Amino acid sequence: MKIIPPRYHREIPRRYRLEAEKDDTGRIYFPPRAAYISGKSVQPCRLADRGKVVTFTVIHTAPKEHSDLTPYPLGIIELDDGARITAQIADVDPAQVEIGMRVRIEFRRIRTEDEEGLLCYGYKVVPE
Amino acid sequence: MPDVGIIGWGANLPRYRIKAESIAVVWGADADNYKRSLQLFEKSVPAPDQDTVTLSVEAARNALKRATIDGSRIGSVYVGSESHPYAVKPTGTIVAEAVGATPECHCADFEFACKAGSEAMFVCFAQVSAGLIDYGLAIGADTSQGAPGDALEYSASAGAAAFIFGRENLVAKVEETYSYMTDTPDFWRRENQHYPQHGGRFTGEPAYFRHTLGAARGIMKKSGATPEDIDYAVFHQPNGKFPMTAGKRLGFPKEKVETGWLVPWLGNTYSGASPLGLTAVLDVAKPGQRILMVSFGSGAGSDAFIFTVQDRIVEVRDLAPKTRRQLDENKFYLDYGRYAKFRGKILRNR
Amino acid sequence: MREVAVIGVGLHKWGELWDMSIRDILVTAAVAALKDAGVDHVDSMFLGCMSSGLFSGQEHLASVMADYLDLTPAPATRVESACASGGLAVRLGWMEVASGLSDIVLVGGVEKMTDVSGTEATFALSTAADTEYEGYQGVTFPGLYAMMARAHMNRYGTTLEQLSQVSVKNHANGALNPYAQYPFPVTLETVMNSTMVAEPLRLLHCSPITDGAAALVLCPAELARKSFREHPLVVITGSGHATDTIALHSRADLTTIKAAEVAAKRAYEMAGIGPDDIDFAEVHDCFTIAEIMTTEALGFFAPGQGGPAAENGETSREGSKPINTSGGLKAKGHPVGATGVAQIIELVLQLRGEAGKRQLKEPRRGLAQNMGGSGGSSLVHILEKR
């Protein structure tokens, strides 16, 4: 499904700046949740920009939008503030990726909506 | 006039490279000749997920780290490039969002041959000097292409340099600025053409050298400086030979030009070329030293700056990745096939 | 709450059914179930289907179902919980009979997946994950389960061979199932050397794209005893339902499937039993690692022991805890919305003694576990022979 401006635009604060929310216990909500319903008090924050690989795979059969980069490593990254995100691991030989590897966030083009559509940016991680 | 200058600088280079030999073997050319005569050994290649926007954002983030300010304080963002990802839609706005400068921020994209980045620097400097903004972000970045089989294919590469200008906590004060510009059409691309045209040997003496030397001599005369007073000279670097020749003709010993001379291993990063050379110099320069930077854009002229390095530079230098490290370490070499795929040179069934 | 019996089941051969539309397959299975039950009317219908809109451009299946079965104006409800849509339809049908609101309820599940290209099918399936925070990032379904596999292998030492043995076993079972999409055995070598999809999962660790439907008829057990005595009486004694986070990265523990564990607990509690009382089970082996992890989540094996159990044959038809005698999603096929309903059908056939060459020796209690996406939702049902 092609991404068009309204759908892309509303995610910019999170995709570009990793804006999130944090409650009193330090638990991070990315994107924010209606945690206040259960009485939690949340404040805005930004995700840490460094972390480690918790688990990963190397994708050989990719969705159309990412098929130019196969095979690409993709993992669940635990950032240094405890938040977990899913991100591609760029600029690395897939065979070198390991659980526990230190990585940092980098701004990359995530997908291109065909020849005439939007260029969609966001976060990937690269080895530290 | 209060002191105005750079408070933070940053570079971002892709990690992929291709060697001159890998290009030459495909087109039946003489790699040794390119390497010898033009001093071009290998160049950077942007990954499919990198473009002028992404390289600019990362360079800007590095500059912010050294500037030790929050992105929200930036009052202007100008991105100079010949390879803005959209034909129509700003680059600067994406960069401004990514660094948190929006919404109270001036912004524009500059397109001015390889001089777009240095002009962005001048504009930020001018706005800060006039007191209209506190901090200005100027970026020179490109992911330019050369036509397959053309000489430019050995040099057209990718990289970004970012500078934040301000009035306090300077790392490099601007001593003097100058610009030398004529309409000398030695390089152009028409609408709907995929690759540029260039004037062959005409790009040398009447274009590059007239303007580079004109700007260098002009700024040194304006400021009363001589090559002996200047510790580092950074010139626009479309190939390895031109900047070395320029330095020689101006009376700079090779050592003063070498620190900012990245092109033999980086390639020509167009709007990022002399700005990236400047970042490499700032990575090592000592307080009190003076830096001359002269850009050049084909058909666009040359901007010149003289900077004096300030004490604060030693405190912040290590806060972001250095340029030579990005250039020399963690490289991945591509063969021509993967290079062509990365650069979109292969006809696809769309 | 009344006890609910399954009095009719309807299936057909699953596969790439080029000549049959979504309506055709749904009707085929539903008619078979109604005939098997011997009913001529229904009070209500439930249908599980994940994505008829994306796959066939057809929503409003409630009306389609009632219309094409010529059962209008009976009420019909289409439910969706990604790959757990079928299981959810079963639960809601059960609830409506148990509560006394309806007596005869038809429960169906359907998915027609081959009216779009492979790329479009992959996209449709990807909507079961977090579109903006997983899909956008380039994740695929095999990729999500591959990440779970790697975490499980890293923590417990589960091996690629153990994962592959699950596929071998399920194909061995599926070879005996006349309705299966791939009714043939595969060797360990074939599985381990099949094309890499998302490391470490290979093609033969992944369930296929399938067109298929399945249907059940439910009624109160008391009514079944009186009026529907053609088959042995099989009743639903437990139903459990749970959710978990949509994105895999939000889960507390990547090496287990919490939603399955919680749904199972709720089902066991309702049935007044525990995992040891279950004779056999149909679990959601969308990928081989899922079978290993769910057998642990259901309490059949200790955490980390699901792999060795598969390797040692404990989950084969001859083993102590036969899993997926139908062939599982791997060999039987995985028409997303139909899977949860078909799982119940295998339980019923086994409990009735009608499972043909796959028949276990006098099973009394079976469990079906169905789940959506990477574990964002799960349904567990327990059936018993009375």
Q: Are strands A19-23 and A42-46 parallel, antiparallel or unpaired?
A: antiparallel
Single-letter amino acid code for the residue at A44:
P
Residues, chain C, total?
A: 386
User: Is the Cβ–Cβ distance between A102 and A126 less than 8 Å?
Assistant: no
Could you tell me if C279 and C311 lie in one domain? yes
Among candidate residues C368, C378, C282, the one with its CA nearest the CA of residue C330: C282
Q: Token pair 């022991």 is at which residue? A: C305
Instruction: Name residues of chain B where pLDDT drops below 50.
Output: none
In angstroms, what separates the C-alpha of A37 from chain B's closest C-alpha?
30
**C15 phi, psi to nearest 5 deg:** 165, -150
Residue of A nearest to C253 (CA): A54
Could you tell me if C290 and C217 lie in one domain? no
**C183's tokens:** 């009714």
Contacts of C137 in chain A (CB under 8 A): 74, 86-88, 110, 122
In B35-94, the residues whose Cβ lies within 8 Å of chain A are 47-51, 53-54, 57-58, 61, 85-86, 94
C180: in domain: yes
A99 and chain C in contact, CB less than 8 A:
yes
Nearest to C150 among A56, A60, A88 (CB): A56
C128: in domain: no
Q: CATH class for domain A5-127?
A: mainly beta
User: Is the Cβ–Cβ distance between C129 and C224 less than 8 Å?
Assistant: no
The contacts of residue B329 (CB under 8 Å, 6+ apart) are: none
- Could you tell me which chains touch chain A, where touching means 3 or more CB pairs under 8 A? B, C
**Contact between chains at B332 and A91 (C-beta distance less than 8 A):** yes
Among candidate residues C268, C306, C212, the one with its CA nearest the CA of residue C15: C212
**A82's tokens:** 């405890």
Torsion sign over Cα B223, B229, B234, B239: positive
**Contact between chains at A64 and C133 (C-beta distance less than 8 A):** no
Torsion sign over Cα C61, C64, C66, C68: negative
User: Is the Cβ–Cβ distance between B234 and B291 less than 8 Å?
Assistant: yes
Could you tell me if C108 and C67 lie in one domain? yes
In angstroms, what separates the C-alpha of A123 from chain B's closest C-alpha?
10
Contacts of C123 in chain A (CB under 8 A): 1, 63-64
Could you tell me if C188 and C218 lie in one domain? no
Q: Are strands C196-198 and C201-202 parallel, antiparallel or unpaired?
A: antiparallel
C299: in domain: yes
Nearest to B47 among A17, A91, A114 (CB): A91
User: Is the Cβ–Cβ distance between C191 and C349 less than 8 Å?
Assistant: no
Could you tell me if C34 and C82 lie in one domain? yes
Helix, strand, coil shares, percent, chain A, to 5? 20, 45, 40
Q: Which of C152, C205, C334, C381 is catalytic?
A: C334
pLDDT of residue B350: 65
Chain C interface residues facing chain A, Cβ-Cβ under 8 Å? 119, 122-123, 126, 130, 132-140, 142-143, 146-148, 150-151, 154, 195-201, 247-250, 254
Count of domains in chain C?
A: 2
Mean per-residue pLDDT over chain B, rounded: 95
Residue A37 has pLDDT above 90, yes or no: no
Could you tell me if C317 and C364 lie in one domain? yes
Distance CA B263, CA B236 (A): 9
Q: Token pair 């969705």 is at which residue? A: A63
Contacts of C148 in chain A (CB under 8 A): 55
Could you tell me if C367 and C222 lie in one domain? no
A28 and chain C in contact, CB less than 8 A:
no
Among candidate residues B283, B286, B293, the one with its CA nearest the CA of residue B320: B283
**A110's tokens:** 């995530």
pLDDT of residue B348: 85
Q: Are strands A50-59 and B5-12 parallel, antiparallel or unpaired?
A: unpaired
**Contact between chains at A121 and B50 (C-beta distance less than 8 A):** no
What is the tens place of the pLDDT at every residue in B40-54? 999 999 999 999 999
pLDDT of residue B195: 82
Residue of C nearest to A31 (CA): C133
**A58's tokens:** 């190397």
C151: in domain: yes
Known catalytic residues of B? 82, 114, 236
What is the tens place of the pLDDT at every residue in B299-336? 899 999 999 999 999 999 999 999 999 999 999 999 99
**B2 phi, psi to nearest 5 deg:** -70, 160
**A105 phi, psi to nearest 5 deg:** -75, 140
| Averages of pLDDT over each 10 residues, chain C, 386 residues | 97 97 98 96 98 97 97 97 98 98 98 95 95 97 97 98 98 98 98 97 98 98 96 98 98 97 98 98 98 98 98 97 98 98 98 97 98 98 97
C123: in domain: no
| A91-A97-A101 Cα angle (round to 5) | 100
**B103's tokens:** 């919404």
Distance CA C167, CA B259 (A): 60
In angstroms, what separates the C-alpha of A24 from chain B's closest C-alpha?
24
ipTM of predicted assembly, 2 dp? 0.96
Contacts of C138 in chain A (CB under 8 A): 59, 62-63, 65-66, 69, 72, 74, 88, 110-111
Three-state SS string over chain C comes to CCCEEEEEEEECCCECCCCCCHHHHHHHHHHHHHHHHCCCCCCEEEEECCCHHHHHCCCCHHHHHHHHCCCCCCCEEEECECECHHHHHHHHHHHHHHCCCCCCEEEEEEECCCCCCHHHHHHHHHCCCCHHHHHCCCCCHHHHHHHHHHHHHHHHCCCHHHHHHHHHHHHHHHCCCCCCCCCCCCCHHHHHCCCEEECCEEHHHECCCCEEEEEEEEEEHHHHHHHCCCCCCEEEEEEEEEECCCCHHHCCCCCCCHHHHHHHHHHHHHHCCCHHHCCEEECCCCEHHHHHHHHHHCCCCCCCCHHHHHHCCCCCCCCCCCECCCCHHHHHCCCHHHHHHHHHHHHHHHHHCCCHHHCCCCCCEEEEEEEECCCCEEEEEEEEEC
Number of cross-chain residue pairs from A and C with Cβ atoms under 8 Å apart: 95
Query: Which residue segments constitute the domains of chain B, with CATH numbers given?
Result: 5-172+324-342 (3.40.47.10), 173-192+199-313 (3.40.47.10)
Distance CA C370, CA C263 (A): 10
C130: in domain: no
What is the tens place of the pLDDT at every residue in A62-116? 998 998 899 999 999 999 999 999 999 999 999 999 999 999 999 999 999 999 9
**Contact between chains at A68 and B341 (C-beta distance less than 8 A):** yes
C303: in domain: yes
Contacts of A63 in chain C (CB under 8 A): 119, 122-123, 126, 135, 138, 140
Structure letter (DSSP) for residue B34: H
Number of cross-chain residue pairs from A and B with Cβ atoms under 8 Å apart: 51
Q: Buried b / exposed e across C191-223, counting CB within 10 Å, b at 16+? A: bbebebbbbbbbbbbbbbbbbbbbbbbbbbbeb
**Contact between chains at A63 and C126 (C-beta distance less than 8 A):** yes
> Is C83 a catalytic site residue?
yes
Distance CA C44, CA C27 (A): 16
Nearest to A84 among C142, C146, C249 (CB): C249
Q: Token pair 């068009």 is at which residue? A: A4
**C362 phi, psi to nearest 5 deg:** 45, 60
Among candidate residues C35, C102, C39, the one with its CA nearest the CA of residue C75: C102
Could you tell me if C74 and C194 lie in one domain? no
Nearest to B97 among A16, A69, A115 (CB): A16
The answer, yes or no, to whether the previous bond of C200 is cis (omega within 30 of 0) is yes
Distance CA C121, CA C112 (A): 10
The CATH number that applies at residue C50 is 3.40.47.10
Distance CA B214, CA B212 (A): 5
Could you tell me if C252 and C193 lie in one domain? yes
**Contact between chains at B61 and A107 (C-beta distance less than 8 A):** yes
**Contact between chains at A59 and C254 (C-beta distance less than 8 A):** no
Q: Where are the alpha helices (DSSP H) in chain B?
A: 20-27, 31-38, 52-67, 92-99, 116-129, 210-223, 241-250, 254-258, 263-266, 273-282, 313-316, 323-328, 336-342
Could you tell me if C251 and C366 lie in one domain? yes
Contacts of C147 in chain A (CB under 8 A): 55-57, 74-76
pLDDT of residue B34: 85
The contacts of residue C343 (CB under 8 Å, 6+ apart) are: C86, C87, C282, C284, C326, C368, C369, C370
Contacts of A107 in chain B (CB under 8 A): 53-54, 57-58, 61, 98
In angstroms, what separates the C-alpha of B46 from chain A's closest C-alpha?
10
**Contact between chains at A57 and C250 (C-beta distance less than 8 A):** no
pLDDT of residue B1: 63
C82: in domain: yes
Q: Most A CBs within 10 Å: which of B44, B45, B49, B91, as the mutation test of the A interface?
A: B49
Residue C221 sits in which domain range? 4-117+209-234
Distance CA A70, CA C35 (A): 50
User: Is the Cβ–Cβ distance between B260 and B254 less than 8 Å?
Assistant: no
Q: Token pair 């639960």 is at which residue? A: C91
Distance CA C22, CA C213 (A): 9
A90 and chain C in contact, CB less than 8 A:
no
Could you tell me if C359 and C293 lie in one domain? yes
